Structure 1
């Protein structure tokens, strides 16, 4: 409870009479506000009030205060004894003017009996009033003295103070009216709806690595026949997986250090937001199809090794020897030139393998309705440590698809791509408004920044190559690499090889 105290203690030294100027803010005026509290002691009130009425000083230690409290309470009826004719006139209990008291205040003789009766009457009257007020304060203390609740009602700070129902309804109506007026004056713009998918894709397209010229043609033909995007791109890359003359993927792929072909693949289906992948898969020619089965029939995303092989066999795949005569000869040639003192950081590749255009195949496609899918499949790095898995089967690295934005994939050194999550990073760059080619270049710049010194030439250029391919929902496509290269794309008119954007016009200098 908020209060203001007015000290009514000892009079100033300059006052001639103890009933001086302090009478102006006396006990009677404090009682007019129903706010009399005297240090919690009603006896001090009665004693102090009586002494002031008769002109005596209060007893020592009983200095009193008139307290103005923010309390709403019914006004008590005034008795006839409270009528004031002036600052020095006090009416008696019978309502007549006290002439004896007036004579005494004018310097006449004092009447002890009169003062005793007057003090008794004042004590009785004020005692009853003070007791009533103290009882009321005790009953109402929890609500009045200790509960001053601050509310925030429609942004306005208010003091909870026995709010009536009428006041509450009026405040609510005023707040609603103010909010409505603000909404009318400053209307919110509704979110702009996305255009239908047919407006996003100007035309269906398919894009792939340079060894995927037949893949983009196959994928595009299937799209024109109404096939699903994922079925289209997988049927496209299967051409290379089943080709024994392509030593970068599937059947005939280059083996690991022990002469075993281990295949990796991953795929994403934009319309259903699902993904599937397999790694270190042995004995199965088409890992892209197995990845599709993981996507379609399991609640998992990535199966590896023996478990991936058993899963494929359960769905009718046949285990076969994936080494061709060409890939076996390449492996034997590598072993013949292997130095026993070499460690895994210095193992040289066979000279005839250093010029191959790509070691993987990635294919991305978009339909006339704007649906997108992507797939990447590979036999991995030649002569790798058994069990090594590159970027191709890793969602967000070897490929990534967001049906609201586009798709991107990669071929080349997988470890460098994994470090930047290249597929995901390229799609996110397109989300920010970049064209597909610019998004691929941006990812390559990040790759160079994160390349370790041992993989850089004396001129600071990477001693490896890495390529990215991308298509967005509008049907725009592009590709970029570290060094000049080509890629395959079907733009709706024809499938052909195109030049890629690149960061460096010359490969890294040799030491």
Structure 2
């Protein structure tokens, strides 16, 4: 008899527990469904991000894919001959050669990248072709150029007159000292969340002016200059690439968001880590600039950098705006 009572009692408690768990689960699902996600949204680095965002938004507002949006967006500064740090018009290396780095990543973790690519105006589109048409994820130098030409990209002279003039002036001293926030821009990194709730990102640059030939920064390196995890969020970086590579910066930002940190707090922690390592190496922080931007699956975003001067552009249903990033050095 006692066993029967115990059995009935246990069964009743279990039933109540199941009912409560069911109610809790249903309640959480209702809350999750009712919580409005800020989508679509696109964010990008620096002031030229405003024009880049305009191009990306044309795709996003029509329920287009985030991947298409970020490619279209970064192609705007890539193709601008007056833009001196990205693509056509970019400053050359110490040998007078314009070499471009770029990568792209979609919601399925498909990735493509090119580095030290010459003569091609839109390296981001070559990076996408690497992703979609080869068994590889990165092509570099002459091999990247050969592939681009085989895919129908046109070979062009990317060294515009203004950049060539500056380079020849630089040759008089050949003093190499990277300048933080040069002309208020650098790499363009762009990350987007589309109307379907999917993330993608792109990052493209001509790299540091007067760098050693063959130098590659963080921009074409997945996990450093860009990272996308469609379950969590996305991040991209700008500034001194060597410092971003040192901490696998954008992967770190996304992993911090996975641990529950907001995009803002994740960017802050990544910058703080660079600051600590820089101090450990007895380097002067005033000579270094790194900025991160991040976006999560809720459409929440954040940004942080080492020193003032970094800004980023945000375009969502409320419009397109430029935001000054908070920073470490005060």
Q: Given the superposition, is the C-alpha separation of residues 334 and 222 from structure 1 closer, same or farther in structure 2, using an over 3 Å criterion?
A: same
- Tell me the distance in 2 between the aligned counterparts of 1:192 and 1:383: 58
Equivalent position of 2:3 in the other structure: none
Shift of 1:369: 2.2
Mapping of 1:85-484 within 5 angstroms?
201-210=37-46, 211-270=48-107, 272-338=108-174, 347-349=176-178, 355-451=182-278, 456-457=283-284, 461-484=285-308
SS at 1:218 equivalent: helix
- Tell me the distance in 1 between the aligned counterparts of 2:291 and 2:131: 26
**Structure 2 length normalisation: TM-score?**
0.88
- Between structure 1 and structure 2, the one with the greater Rg is 1
Choose between structure 1 and 2 for higher RCO, CA contacts under 8 A separated by at least 6 residues. 2
1:502 is the counterpart of 2:327: yes
**Structure 1 length normalisation: TM-score?**
0.58
Q: Does the Cα contact within 8 Å between 1:451 and 1:462 map onto a contact in 2?
A: no
Q: Does the Cα contact within 8 Å between 2:181 and 2:239 map onto a contact in 1?
A: no
Equivalent position of 1:61 in the other structure: none
- Tell me the distance in 1 between the aligned counterparts of 2:71 and 2:130: 14
Shift of 1:319: 0.8
SS at 1:277 equivalent: strand
SS at 1:255 equivalent: coil
Shift of 1:372: 0.6
CA-based RMSD of the aligned residues comes to 2.6
Q: Given the superposition, is the C-alpha separation of residues 319 and 229 from structure 1 closer, same or farther in structure 2, using an over 3 Å criterion?
A: same
- Tell me the distance in 1 between the aligned counterparts of 2:75 and 2:321: 19
- Tell me the distance in 1 between the aligned counterparts of 2:7 and 2:169: 82
Q: Given the superposition, is the C-alpha separation of residues 284 and 183 from structure 1 closer, same or farther in structure 2, using an over 3 Å criterion?
A: farther
Shift of 1:303: 1.0
Shift of 1:224: 0.8
Q: Given the superposition, is the C-alpha separation of residues 224 and 364 from structure 1 closer, same or farther in structure 2, using an over 3 Å criterion?
A: same
Q: Does the Cα contact within 8 Å between 2:193 and 2:299 map onto a contact in 1?
A: yes
Q: Given the superposition, is the C-alpha separation of residues 464 and 197 from structure 1 closer, same or farther in structure 2, using an over 3 Å criterion?
A: farther
Shift of 1:480: 1.0
Q: Does the Cα contact within 8 Å between 2:181 and 2:289 map onto a contact in 1?
A: no
Q: Does the Cα contact within 8 Å between 1:410 and 1:423 map onto a contact in 2?
A: yes
| Structure 1 unmatched runs, 5+ | 1-177, 340-346, 506-511
Q: Does the Cα contact within 8 Å between 1:364 and 1:374 map onto a contact in 2?
A: yes
Deviations 1:209-266 (A, max 9, x none): 1121111122122101122111111101100000011110100111111100110001
SS at 2:98 equivalent: coil
Q: Given the superposition, is the C-alpha separation of residues 181 and 388 from structure 1 closer, same or farther in structure 2, using an over 3 Å criterion?
A: farther
Deviations 1:163-216 (A, max 9, x none): xxxxxxxxxxxxxxx999978855686896996899673331111111211111
Q: Given the superposition, is the C-alpha separation of residues 299 and 185 from structure 1 closer, same or farther in structure 2, using an over 3 Å criterion?
A: farther
Deviations 1:3-30 (A, max 9, x none): xxxxxxxxxxxxxxxxxxxxxxxxxxxx
- Tell me the distance in 1 between the aligned counterparts of 2:211 and 2:225: 18
- Tell me the distance in 2 between the aligned counterparts of 1:402 and 1:192: 25
- Tell me the distance in 1 between the aligned counterparts of 2:278 and 2:232: 28
Equivalent position of 1:487 in the other structure: 312
Q: Given the superposition, is the C-alpha separation of residues 208 and 198 from structure 1 closer, same or farther in structure 2, using an over 3 Å criterion?
A: farther
Deviations 1:75-120 (A, max 9, x none): xxxxxxxxxxxxxxxxxxxxxxxxxxxxxxxxxxxxxxxxxxxxxx
- Tell me the distance in 2 between the aligned counterparts of 1:392 and 1:384: 15
- Tell me the distance in 2 between the aligned counterparts of 1:338 and 1:185: 80
Q: Given the superposition, is the C-alpha separation of residues 252 and 182 from structure 1 closer, same or farther in structure 2, using an over 3 Å criterion?
A: farther
Shift of 1:456: 2.8
Q: Does the Cα contact within 8 Å between 1:294 and 1:301 map onto a contact in 2?
A: yes
Shift of 1:355: 3.5
Equivalent position of 1:27 in the other structure: none
SS at 2:318 equivalent: coil
SS at 2:227 equivalent: strand
SS at 1:497 equivalent: strand
- Tell me the distance in 2 between the aligned counterparts of 1:419 and 1:192: 42
Q: Given the superposition, is the C-alpha separation of residues 318 and 377 from structure 1 closer, same or farther in structure 2, using an over 3 Å criterion?
A: same
Q: Does the Cα contact within 8 Å between 1:374 and 1:399 map onto a contact in 2?
A: yes
